[in-house]
Amino acid sequence: MKVILAKPRGFCAGVERAIEIVERALEKYGAPVYVRHEIVHNRHVVDNLRAKGARFVDELDEIPLGGITVFSAHGVSQRVEDDAALRSLPVIDATCPLVSKVHHEAQRYAGAGRDIVLIGHDGHPEVEGTMGRIDGKVYLVATPEDVALLNVRDPEQLAYVTQTTLSVDDTRSVIEALKERFPNIIGPDTRDICYATQNRQGAVRELAKRADLILVVGAQNSSNSNRLREIASEMGVRAYLIADGSVLDPAWLEGVHAVGVTAGASAPEHLVQQLVDRLGELGATEVEILPGVDENVRFRMPAELADAVA
């Protein structure tokens, strides 16, 4: 049995930046540093930061006066930002710049008098943040069927934006449905789906051409990881989303000659390596890395942490 690794896989620039923000904040200000929600969707990352002194909270009222407060990579609504200001919390914003870009885009459309259709998954923190950044009417859709049911105020004054971690193909079909129903709608096509999501989806497609089983390392609540598993399944390859190698069921490997491995944007590489080791114990004798896109995206640290080390 052979292991084939996708490239790229795992951490994206937004996740690396968010984790480094918490680490630098701990270094500069000392523990505890309060993080609103999971900094990124990965329990291993969260546990590791917790061990270093980060405290994860659901809401701002759990943070004591003056507590250093970090907003997660998924972004927050204007209300959360205003609440933090009201409570005079010193905030460090770890929102991925590519999520902030979508916020600005949506605000620009709304400022020009358009109602916004947000393509995204109900309940995801990024979607809550983006919806809460738009002054005015927002309609949330996830599928072409949702588009068919939309009841809008003015079909002539619409714009759409999307969540950053969607399936490119699914999003394209939702955009087509929107354009068919509302020919004057404007939007960024699939460009809101970030480079990391697009690259990992391209890589899992290549993997699916070669593997007869695909394992995606990532959290169950990670949107981009779920999309990777779905794409592999859509291409006819059995695929599982697993938190780490410890939950791998050896029965999955029966009759398998090539196991494809990839990881969502919030899954650390050491979990991939741990899975590869486990596959080695279960009979894999060779590891191949597929050729793929070299990523060299890096985002700047917030100014207040520029002088701190992680």
For the annotated catalytic residues, the residue numbers are: 126
Number of other residues whose CB lies within 10 A of the CB of residue 64: 10
* Smallest distance from ligand SF4 to CB 165, Å: 5
Under the criterion CB under 6 A, does residue 15 sit at the interface with ligand SF4? yes
Of 13 and 45, the one with the shorter C-beta distance to ligand SF4 is: 13
Distance CA 11, CA 269 (A): 7
CA angle centred on 152, ends 148 and 153, rounded to 5°: 165
Binding to ligand SF4, residues 264-293 (CB under 6 A): 265
Q: List the structure tokens of 271.
A: 């979990």
Number of other residues whose CB lies within 10 A of the CB of residue 152: 15
Q: List the structure tokens of 169.
A: 């193909």
In DSSP notation, 39-66 reads SSS-HHHHHHHHHHTEEEESSGGGSPTT
- Per the CB < 8 A criterion, the answer to whether 193 and 168 are in contact is yes
Of 3 and 12, the one with the shorter C-beta distance to ligand SF4 is: 12
Binding to ligand SF4, residues 140-179 (CB under 6 A): 164-165
Under the criterion CB under 6 A, does residue 99 sit at the interface with ligand SF4? yes
Distance CA 269, CA 72 (A): 20
Residue closest to ligand SF4, measured at CB: 14
Count of residues near ligand SF4 by CB under 6 A: 15
Under the criterion CB under 6 A, does residue 134 sit at the interface with ligand SF4? no
Binding to ligand SF4, residues 178-217 (CB under 6 A): 194, 196-197
* Smallest distance from ligand SF4 to CB 219, Å: 13
* Smallest distance from ligand SF4 to CB 192, Å: 9
Among 4, 19, 96, 239, binds ligand SF4 (CB under 6 A): 96
Among 26, 35, 98, 305, binds ligand SF4 (CB under 6 A): 98
Task: Please name the residues in contact with 22: beta carbons below 8 A apart, sequence gap of 6 or more.
Answer: 33, 35, 39, 49, 52, 54, 70, 94
Under the criterion CB under 6 A, does residue 95 sit at the interface with ligand SF4? no
Among 8, 10, 14, 268, binds ligand SF4 (CB under 6 A): 14
Q: List the structure tokens of 54.
A: 């980060």
| Continuous segment of H or E residues that includes residue 104 | helix 97-111
* Smallest distance from ligand SF4 to CB 120, Å: 12
Distance CA 46, CA 35 (A): 10
Of 191 and 278, the one with the shorter C-beta distance to ligand SF4 is: 191
Binding site for ligand SF4 (CB under 6 A): 12-15, 73, 96, 98-99, 164-165, 194, 196-197, 224, 265
